[in-house]
Amino acid sequence: MLNSIGSLLGPMNAFEKAEELDMDHVYIKFVDLLWGYIFIGPCSYLLWKKGTVWLSIRQFLVKRGILQMKEFDINTLIGQLCLEQSQVIHYYAKTKKGSELGNIAAFFFADFPYVDVNCDYQVADLFAVDIDLDTKKFVKAKMDDIDLTASETLILLWFNTITAQHVKLHAMANWGVNSDDAIKETNPFLHRNSVVTIIYNYFGYNSFPGFFKTWEKLGLLSEGWSEKQPLMKCFNHGIKGNISQHSHVAELLNYSRLVNFTVKVRAIFFNEFAKYKHLFPGVHGEVRRCI
């Protein structure tokens, strides 16, 4: 039996531990699962239904020329995707001061998963994007030996953001939860949020593929996504890829608001977390900071 301290650790004290990132490995009690299906499931389904209907309406309006796409600077948007969100961890290096090439930062995505025109799951050896740090705009990109346009680069970056990159954050959240009954006495708010996080991770990983057939029928997806399941393969690729060491992103301190904020708040957060760590047994501070 678990002792009093061990019981507070809940799933973090289990003999079976995940050796890699995983969106669906934390066990919860049946009553908590039932609570999730009653109070979280219906609302999640309604949000999905609302989003699907609205997207179908927008698609209809665009085809009829009633709704027009807003103008935007694609080169700036690519720069924002690389510098101002989680893709920044793929920063590799920047040119030296005074370089003839300019002040350029390179972002390397090794073993890059994507879906081709035949709806097949593929993995490129390297997807590389160069960003001008002075203008914060796109310069050039390549996937293996293929030169990419700004439009192609934007599509690949956004696809990676919502697939292989996105699931890493969900998987890491599993190290910031504790759903054991004993935690209710110490921190009931943590227990409730832990159950919600675990349930959402479960729904997102196991239930999401069930939406594809509906989207295909509505014309929101081309045929093949539900049968071949290339998106789930990209999800699994991202999860198993873990997160590489990326402390060198501090070199972008003066060029990225996200990096500037995260680097400065990191030490403050850990100092504060240490004061209240007893309220979060079984929770890793590094993960709690990422949620």
Q: What is the reported pLDDT for 287?
A: 63
Q: Is-contact 79 154, C-beta < 8 A?
A: no
Domain ranges of the chain: 19-70+166-249, 72-162
Band the pLDDT of 154: cuts 50, 70, 90: very high
What is the rounded CA–CA span in Å between residue 180 and residue 18? 17
What is the C-alpha to C-alpha distance for residues 202 and 170, in angstroms, rounded to an integer? 10
User: With pLDDT > 70 as the criterion, what percentage of the chain qualifies?
Assistant: 91
| pLDDT for position 19 | 62
Q: Does the predicted model carry a pTM greater than 0.75?
A: yes
265-272, Cβ contacts within 8 angstroms, sequence gap of 24 or more: none
Please, are residues 128 and 141 in contact by the beta-carbon 8 Å criterion?
Answer: yes
Per-residue pLDDT tens digits for 69-128: 888 999 999 999 999 999 999 999 999 988 999 999 999 999 999 999 999 999 999 999
